[in-house]
Amino acid sequence: MKPLTIDFYQRPTVTVAQDLLGCLFVRLFRGVRLVGRVVETEAYHQVGDAACHAHKGKTARNRVMFETGGKLYVYFTYGMHFCMNVVTEAEGVGSAVLLRAFEPLEGLEIMHKHRVEKRVNKATLAVKELCSGPAKVCQAFAISTAQNGHNLSEEPIQLFRGESFTQEKIGTSGRIGISQAAALPWRFYIKDNNYVSR
């Protein structure tokens, strides 16, 4: 199995957002394989998208969005959460795909440990609660700004092609949790999948 190559990422962001559905996100973490199937994504683009961090140009935070497609862009928000994106398109274009939800496949015990550690309520979480949101995904996979800029063609964090499925299984909607450019139909998810964020 080979990881997705730079060619995959260096395409129109909306296309990459759709094609990432079903792919496998793999992190080797202290000798353990953590694997999740991508079931929900959102596209963000510098041009015509006021919600995109890159909309007003390059800054210290968003600089990775302008790098060549195939990098990981991680940012910190709400004083306590991380979200991760896959950078798309050519160098100089500020664009990325937010990874919003995974179906957990391997390393569920470690994911669960990571998720429960930070909570007040230490009760056992259902599997569907492990990765059903962008900040939950980062918690489960222990992703922080330490991974910002990581090249996804290299270990320990990579994406692999998963089972293919028909276009009709892809749902589309407006993006979640934003106010700017909320009408853009740039959220994509696998229909009837139990692990989508909502």
Partner DNA sequence: CAGTCGATGTACT
Partner DNA sequence: GTACATCGACTGG
Which residues bind to DNA, rule: CB under 7 A?
42, 44, 51-54, 56, 59-62, 65, 76-81, 83, 85, 96, 98, 115, 119-121, 129, 133-137, 139, 175-180, 197
User: Which residue has 């993006």 as its token pair?
Assistant: 175
What's the closest the beta carbon of residue 52 comes to DNA, in angstroms? 5
- Please identify, using beta-carbon distances, which residue of 31 and 57 lies nearer to DNA: 57
| Chain-centre distance for alpha carbon 14 | 14
Torsion of CA 165, 24, 87, 135, to 10 degrees: 110
User: Of the two residues 31 and 79, which places its CB atom closer to DNA in the complex?
Assistant: 79
Instruction: Using the minimum distance from each CB to DNA, give the nearer residue, 113 or 119.
Output: 119
Q: How far is the CB of 141 from DNA (least distance, A)?
A: 12
The distance of closest approach from Cβ of residue 30 to DNA in the complex, given in angstroms and rounded to an integer, is: 22
Smallest distance from DNA to CB 7, Å: 22
Dihedral, CA of residue 144, residue 104, residue 8 and residue 2, to nearest 10: 100
**Of residues 166 and 179, the one with the C-beta less far from DNA:** 179
Sheet strands (E) in the chain: 24-29, 32-45, 72-77, 81-87, 95-106, 157-160, 170-173, 187-190
